[in-house]
Amino acid sequence: MITLVEATGSTNADLAAAVRSGEGWAEGQWLVARRQTAGRGRQGREWFDGAGNFMGSTVVVLGPRAGPPPASLSFVAALAVRDAAAGVIGEGAALALKWPNDVLLGGGKLSGILLEMVRGHIVVGIGVNLARAPDVPDRRTAALADVAPPPPLEEFAASLAASFDRRLEAWRTYGLAASLQAFLAGSIHAAGSPLTVHDTDGSVRSGTFAGLDESDGALRLRLADGSERVIRAGDIS
């Protein structure tokens, strides 16, 4: 089920408030806004208002049994966005995945994903550039409209919701390793390729890609001396 509103501050904030108040929000139900006035991205960044783009959130209920780490749902979300985007522009298009959860189109950032834990729920917020991409000083951006007519918002929302359901079921059934394998299969990362990691504390480390940790999806960076660093947050270039 998809609930579409004309405007809100933040779909993530709305769902988090519903969970905290006890109203709840059913898994599989999405809140989608045509405009968002107080959206946020990773590491506290503001998220582009994006009128004409997709901005929506859903929740995943964490069960009583141990499963993959909740933060690894970012891979589920990225795979779902890639699936939905491929449905618009075709599997042969220049779509690729980049750690930790970026979907790229022609090398430009197509989407943003934000996870928040609230009382046993993970609120999953997703923004996808359908009609236009924001101008961001430090990175390339892209929109589906760059290569194809942008889909109607309602149509894309339904496709993304269905893709997310499929990827979530695989994450629960087969574990994180299968999701990571699917992520790497469609990613820009190859073993031994050079990487520079910009950590959240402002430090910069360079090395080569040594894979993803199967326990939580952290990036393994091999340094020049042969040692490895495990990176769980940061941006890479």
pLDDT of residue 201: 75
Name the CATH superfamily, with its identifier, for domain 2-185.
Bira Bifunctional Protein; Domain 2 (3.30.930.10)
**Per DSSP, what are the bridge partners of residue 122?**
60, 117
Q: How many CB atoms lie within 10 A of CB 170?
A: 15
Report how far residue 10's alpha carbon sits from residue 67's, in angstroms, rounded to the nearest whole number. 29
| Regions of the chain where pLDDT drops below 70 | 39-49, 65-66, 92-93
Residue 32: which of 17, 53, 16, 46 has the closest Cα? 53
pLDDT of residue 86: 95
Q: SS3 for 49?
A: coil
CB within 8 Å of 154: residues ≥ 6 apart: 2, 4
Report how far residue 68's alpha carbon sits from residue 62's, in angstroms, rounded to the nearest whole number. 10
Length of the chain (residues) = 237
Q: Where are the domains of the chain?
A: 2-185, 194-236
Is the pTM of the predicted complex or chain greater than 0.95?
no
Could you tell me the CA-to-CA distances from 207 to 183, 190, 199 in Å, in that order? 21, 13, 13
Residue range 160-216, pLDDT digits in tens: 999 999 999 999 999 999 999 999 999 999 988 999 988 777 788 889 999 999 999
**What CATH fold (topology level) applies to the domain 194-236?**
SH3 type barrels. (2.30.30)
